[in-house]
Structure 1
C-alpha cells in the first residue's frame, strides 16, 4: 500500500479552519477534501476517519497555541506578558474570524466524548497554572495589587480567555476587545507611584 505524501502541518491547519468555521458535526469529508486538497482515501489512510483528523488537528492546535503563549509570557514584566498573551489571543481569533478550535470542540463534545474531553482539559489546566505562575511573578515584581488573591485573579483571567475565545464570532471589533484586555489589566495592576 502506498503512503500518502503531503505536508501534515498544512493539512491539519486547513482542517482546523474548516472545523472552526463549520463545527465537527457540519464538516463533511468533502469539505475536508476541498480544504486540504487531498482525496478522501489519503485522508483516511493518514487519519483513519473524520474523528482522527479532528484529534490530530486539535493536538496541533494545542501545540501551536502553547508555543505562542509561552513566547508572550517571556516578557520581563509579568503583567505585561499576560496583556501580551491576551492581545495575541484577540489577534489570532480575529485573523480567522471564527471560534477557537478548543472552544468549539468543547461545545460539541464535552458531554458525549470522554477521550476528547480529557484531551481538552490538559491545555486548559496548563494555561490556568501558567496564568497563576505569571500572577505570582507580577506580585513579586510589585505590579499586582497586593489585596488580590492569586487564585481568584487566575479564575478571572481564565474567564476572560474563555470569553475572548467565543467573542470573535459575534464581536469582531479589535479595538473593543483590546480595550477590554487593557481594562482588565488596569483593574489588577498595582497603583503606579
Structure 2
C-alpha cells in the first residue's frame, strides 16, 4: 500500500507567504492557492478556514520575519542606530536578491489594494504597521537615552520617518531599477538619518 505523504503545515504557510507576496491579496484566487499549496478546497478550508484565515497566518510569518531581521541586525551592532543602519543595508540586499518573490513589502502592498469595504483586513494591516512604528519608537527612545541621538529628537516622529524610508525603499525597488542603485539609495537614506545622531560621521 503506497505511503501517504504527511501534510506539512509549515511548508504550506511558506508557500502562501510567497504566493501572496508575489501576487498580492486581491490578485490571489483560491485556484492560485490550491495550486501553490497543492491542496484541495476541502483540505484548505478545514486547515485555514478561508482565504482570509490563510492570509492572516501568512502575514504573521512575514511580519515576524521582518522583526527577526531587525533584531539580528541590532544584536550584531554596537549601538541602536548602527543596528538600524545595518538593518537597512541588509534589507537592500534582501529585496534585490534574484530569488526574492517581490521587492515591495507585502504589508504595504496589501494596504494599498484593500478597499474601505474590507475594513477588517485594512484594520489588520494598519495594526501591523502601527506595531512596527511602536517598535521603532521604543528603539529610538533607547538610542536617545543612551546619547546616540541629538537632544530634543522626537522618537515617535523619527520612527515614522524611518518607517517611511523603509516603505519607500521597498516600493522604489519594485521599479525596473538595478540592485546597485537601490544600495546607493540605501546609503543616501542612512546619511540623511545620520543627521539626527550626535556624530553622523561615525556611521
Using structure 1 for the length normalisation, give the TM-score.
0.82
* CA distance in 2: counterparts of 1:98 and 1:78, whole angstroms: 25
Which structure exhibits the higher relative contact order, with contacts defined as CA atoms closer than 8 Å and separated by 6 or more residues?
1
Aligned to 2:166: 161
Q: Contact 2:144–2:153 at 8 Å: present in 1 too?
A: no
* CA distance in 2: counterparts of 1:70 and 1:112, whole angstroms: 35
Per-residue CA distance 1:1-22 (angstroms, 9 max, x = gap): xxx9422222122112221222
Moved over 4 A (4+): none
Q: Contact 1:89–1:164 at 8 Å: present in 2 too?
A: no
* CA distance in 1: counterparts of 2:115 and 2:197, whole angstroms: 35
User: Structure 2: which 5+ runs fail to align?
Assistant: none
Go from structure 1 to structure 2 and tell me whether the alpha carbon gap of 1:150 and 1:56 turns closer, same or farther (over 3 Å shift). Answer: closer
* CA distance in 1: counterparts of 2:174 and 2:72, whole angstroms: 26
* CA distance in 1: counterparts of 2:82 and 2:94, whole angstroms: 18
Aligned to 1:36: 37
Q: Contact 2:93–2:183 at 8 Å: present in 1 too?
A: no
The CA deviation at 1:110 is 5.5
Per-residue CA distance 1:104-141 (angstroms, 9 max, x = gap): 11112252322222222333222212222222222233
| Aligned length in residues | 190
Question: Is it true that 1:83 corresponds to 2:85 in the alignment?
Answer: yes
Give matches, 1:5-154, under 5 Å: 5-74=6-75, 75-95=77-97, 96=100, 97-109=102-114, 111-154=116-159
User: Structure 1: which 5+ runs fail to align?
Assistant: none
* CA distance in 2: counterparts of 1:8 and 1:100, whole angstroms: 24
Q: Contact 1:79–1:185 at 8 Å: present in 2 too?
A: no
Question: Is it true that 1:190 corresponds to 2:198 in the alignment?
Answer: yes
3-state SS of 2:27 partner: coil
Go from structure 1 to structure 2 and tell me whether the alpha carbon gap of 1:172 and 1:15 turns closer, same or farther (over 3 Å shift). Answer: farther
